[in-house]
Amino acid sequence: MKTRWLIVFALALPSTACGQQPSRADLVADQFLADNRQPLPTDPKLVKDRLFLDDCSGKRIRASDIKVSDSQDAVTAKVHKAMQECIDQLYGPKKP
């Protein structure tokens, strides 16, 4: 998985090519969704929850402030934050 993140980071670096480049957040979201593709559960409720979490997390990652200058740890923290916000939205916030 570390290699995939490195590829994403390399692709997110500014390019000298013409045209609009995807943002780093878009690239990270695409990689997140690609990494998360696996067989869906057989329980319809779990399938619904899983699809919601994938969609919600992808959207929140795209909307995040991930920058090219962010370290891998910073990007990972932002991805985890987006995922936790979606989990909280679906199941309610964690109880202390």
Domain boundaries, the chain: 50-96
Could you report the per-residue pLDDT of 2-48, keeping only the tens digit for each? 555 445 444 444 544 456 788 999 999 999 999 988 888 899 999 99
Q: Which two tokens stand for residue 39?
A: 């067989």
CA atoms within 13 A on the CB side of 16: 0
DSSP 71: -
Cβ neighbours, 10 Å, residue 32: 19
Residue 38: both structure tokens together: 């696996």
Is the pTM of the predicted complex or chain greater than 0.85? Answer: no
Cα–Cα dist 36/57, whole Å: 11
